[in-house]
Amino acid sequence: MLVPLSWLRDYVALDVPVEELADRVNISVAEVERIIRRGVPDQDGNLGLYRVGRVLEAGQHPNADRLQLCRVDVGEGEPRQIVCGAWNFGEGATVAVALPGAVLPDGRRLERAKLRGTVSDGMILSERELELGTDHTGILVLAEPWDPGTPLADVLPLGDVVLELETTPNRPDLLAVYGVAREVSALYDSELSPVPGTEPERAGDEPVNVSIEDYEGCPRYIGRLFRNVRVASSPPWLKARLVAAGLRPISNVVDVTNYVMHSLGNPLHVFDFDTLGGGRIVVRRARKGEEFTTLDGTRRELDPADLVIADAEHAIAFAGIMGGRDTEVRESTTNVLLEAANFEPVGILHSSERHALRTEGSNRWEKGVDPYLAEQAATYATELVVELSAATWVGDVDVKRDLPEPPIVHFRPARASALAGLELEPKGQLATLRRLGFEGGGNGSITVPTWRARDVTREPDLVEEVVRFHLSEVPFTLARGAAARLTREQKLRRVVEDVLVGCGLSEAYTSSLVADDPAPDAIRLPVPLSAEQAVLRTTLLSGLVDSGRHNVDVGNEGIALFELARVYLSSGEVRPDEHWHVGGIVAGGFFRAKGVVEALHGALHVDLRVEVVQRDSLHPGKAARCDAGWFGELHPAILEGAWGVFELDLPALFAAVPDRLVYEDVITYPAVYQDLAFVVDEHVPAGQLVETAQEAAGRELREMRVFDVYRGDQIAAGKKSIAFRVAFQSPERTLSDEDARALRERIVSALADRFGAELRA
């Protein structure tokens, strides 16, 4: 919403710097996106270089066919010689002149220049050069014979400051300069002018035939008939205001509808009355298959849910959204029907979405416009149409059903103070509300103005109306809080993250929605985001593989990534089970992945028990399962190279984390260390040797760790030698050589019995 300050000042006095106004509007009314300074810059006396000029002579430039050479009186006694490229004027014309040194709206500085050998001592301006309109076919010829030398700023709106507001959807009343002025009057406790528009005398009593077939969609329709309309271009002040407000000037009659809409917030429409079949207006839903061409030249097929304005035969306009080409007001139009109606928001929103057609009108209707506003808009538009197009107002009709009564809300000023955390005088609160158009309050009952009836229906809504004007004064305090700490699972998740970072993995975030998932019952979105984001994942693997591949593609080295995120498992309930998983991908193959999984288990004090497993995504010979998940080497068909991958279910992993760690005495009595190497068949897993040894030796075997696996000349074919570092230790006594020997014997014989293992000398 663009709010030119010159326009705003029509309704409310303003004597603060624009930056301060913008700050306060920003805090209490609506976001100010920008402050736009437009038109002729008002600085360093620049406006003094813009004058009214009278053309004394105009003739062909001696050296250029396309140029005119003029002598122009700018009130200096001696006329100035000015070269001009336009031909839409002659001797006696009153024109707008910029003198050398003037800074133009586009930032250029005008210099005294020679054009084709002739001095030009100034510039005769077009409306586009002044940013007063869009016309650049000729220069601007002033309609009134102002005295030469009159400051141009006295007769034309040369420069303006415009606030660009981003209003919230609950405030359609702010999509009007008058509505913004009402807020400014509350901000500064200053007087708001009465609503603009004075009903002129009606010069006739012709019937206007309007019928509403769908009051749900259109609670009110005011139609006014004008005859002897002279369609022409609008005067400069009106064009300048529309351009400053971002609207395109078209013709006086159409410009009035846009001007009144932007002033008051009620979109209007005008029809060429002579094109209306049967001279009638019918507001109804579209018929199946009905078509018409909108103002933008598009042929549109209507949906039976679309609300239309029709004549006796067919649809002629999209109610509230856009008019039709066949009934448009043109230069030749002499009889005009003005529409000041009210349309219901949801239907307009749906039609506008259905046809992908958003307009100034739909933007207001879809937020809910006050039905009482139609009358004020009709009055103001009538005054301006009569004034600007010399039309005769001859007919009037106001078709409506009972309009809603303004809501009455109970309000306790003490409640506003309590909620704000700031003592606010009840008198001041009621004064603010009154500036905004709320009435009453003495007995605790507030009548809400009709233009706020949708948004303000309860006491807290009134509290907001008061508090938003005091936001900067509210102090900063802290609430008392409660006893709070991270849950066990939240703390353990942080441990997992930190351990993996310590292992050299960097943390990735990958999409929860994947192209496909190995689980047959994975949840598929009926309308996916895209083909790549269609299924709620049950495993983190594909996202990690994609991230690994990206890093390979861009040439990164030392690739090691992990992710902590949820997977979504079908539960049989309406909503899936969301489980936290941790997964990783690391360059370096099986043992790199296993090292990470071991480190993670070690940090959490969870035993890692491992079995062989088969998984489609893993190398068939390098795949393992553990209690909380799996790890292994990624199947090379998925991503070339040796990649270690793992994925663990965090609830399962955390279930095994001991709540309390108990001190174990490994300090008082020293350990006895020995290296033992066993020769076993190739297929015997080292882990089983350790398990068996532990069963045989009991708790005095404190540690048994593989440090070498050897195959080769000194070992029979089909066999391997596994070397262990073992530690014997007791918490109760120092183990003697004899004790250690006995423990060792038990291990050797158990391994021999079970696996045929031979101790190497």
Partner 1 sequence: MDAQALENEAQSAISSAKTLEELDDARVRFLGRKSELKQALREVRDAETGRVLNAVRDRLEQGVAEREAALRESKLERRLSEERVDVTLPGEATSRGHLNLITQIRREVEDVFLGLGYTVVDGDEVEDTWHLFDALNMPPGHVTRSPLHTLFVNGDVVLRTETSPSQIRVMEAQEPPVYMVSLGRCYRRDTPDATHSPIFHQVEGLAVDEGITVADLKGTILHLARALFGEERRVRFMTDFFPFTEPSLGAAVSCFLCDGRGCSVCKETGWIEMGGSGMVDPNVLQNVGYDPEKVSGFAFGLGLERIAMLRHGVPDIRMFWENDLRFLRQF
Q: Which of residues 299-328 bind partner 1 (CB under 8 A)?
A: none
**Residues within window 228-267 making contact with partner 1, judged by CB under 8 A:** none
Residue closer to partner 1 by CB (options 469, 728) is 469
Residue closer to partner 1 by CB (options 332, 530) is 530
Counting contacts by CB under 8 A, is residue 531 touching partner 1?
no
Selection from 546, 547, 555 nearest residue 506 by Cα: 547
Among 20, 356, 527, 659, binds partner 1 (CB under 8 A): 527
Q: Are 165 and 180 in contact (CB under 8 A)?
A: yes
Q: How many CB atoms are closer than 10 A to CB 201?
A: 6
Residue closer to partner 1 by CB (options 189, 681) is 189
**Residues within window 10-29 making contact with partner 1, judged by CB under 8 A:** 26-29
Counting contacts by CB under 8 A, is residue 521 touching partner 1?
no
Phi first, then psi, for residue 618 (nearest 5°) are -110, 155
Residue closer to partner 1 by CB (options 332, 477) is 477
Counting contacts by CB under 8 A, is residue 651 touching partner 1?
no
Counting contacts by CB under 8 A, is residue 575 touching partner 1?
yes
Residue closer to partner 1 by CB (options 167, 251) is 167
Unique residue bearing structure tokens 């120092």 = 734
Single out the segment in contact with partner 1 by CB under 8 A; choices: 95-103, 156-164, 425-433, 475-483: 475-483
Counting contacts by CB under 8 A, is residue 481 touching partner 1?
yes
Selection from 65, 72, 102 nearest residue 90 by Cα: 72
Counting contacts by CB under 8 A, is residue 356 touching partner 1?
no
Residue closer to partner 1 by CB (options 82, 559) is 559
Beta bridge partners of 280: 209
Report residue 22 as tokens.
């913008």
Counting contacts by CB under 8 A, is residue 534 touching partner 1?
no
Q: Can you tell me the distance from the alpha carbon of 357 to that of 699, in angstroms, rounded to the nearest whole number? A: 80
Among 203, 312, 501, 716, binds partner 1 (CB under 8 A): 501
Among 472, 664, 667, 712, binds partner 1 (CB under 8 A): 472
How many residues form the binding site for partner 1 (CB under 8 A)?
83
Beta bridge partners of 587: 643
202-207-209-211 Cα dihedral, nearest 10 degrees: 80
Phi first, then psi, for residue 689 (nearest 5°) are -60, -45
Among 560, 606, 672, 726, binds partner 1 (CB under 8 A): 560
Minimum CB–partner distance for residue 187 and partner 1 (Å): 12
**Residues within window 30-59 making contact with partner 1, judged by CB under 8 A:** 30-31
Ramachandran area for residue 402 (φ above 0: left; ψ -120 to 50: alpha; else beta): beta
Residue closer to partner 1 by CB (options 420, 748) is 420
Unique residue bearing structure tokens 């390098």 = 622
Distances from the Cα of 25 to the Cαs of 33, 179, 182, 230, in angstroms?
A: 11, 12, 12, 40
Minimum CB–partner distance for residue 512 and partner 1 (Å): 6
Selection from 320, 323, 283, 286 nearest residue 303 by Cα: 286
**Residues within window 156-175 making contact with partner 1, judged by CB under 8 A:** 168-171
Minimum CB–partner distance for residue 705 and partner 1 (Å): 22
Among 153, 422, 613, 666, binds partner 1 (CB under 8 A): 422
Q: What DSSP designation does 65 have?
A: E
Counting contacts by CB under 8 A, is residue 525 touching partner 1?
yes
Unique residue bearing structure tokens 């009606």 = 202
Q: Can you tell me the distance from the alpha carbon of 538 to that of 568, in angstroms, rounded to the nearest whole number? A: 5
Among 113, 232, 529, 706, binds partner 1 (CB under 8 A): 529
Among 330, 427, 458, 488, binds partner 1 (CB under 8 A): 458
Minimum CB–partner distance for residue 482 and partner 1 (Å): 5
Angle between helices 373-389 and 252-264 (to 10 degrees): 150
**Which amino acid is it at 76?**
E
Minimum CB–partner distance for residue 268 and partner 1 (Å): 26
Single out the segment in contact with partner 1 by CB under 8 A; choices: 49-57, 326-334, 558-566, 632-640: 558-566
What number of CA atoms fall less than 13 Å from residue 70's CA on the CB side?
Answer: 29
Minimum CB–partner distance for residue 749 and partner 1 (Å): 42
Counting contacts by CB under 8 A, is residue 673 touching partner 1?
no
SS3 per residue for 508-561: CCCCCEECCCCCCCCCECCCCCECCECEECCCCHHHHHHHHHHHHHCCCCCCEE
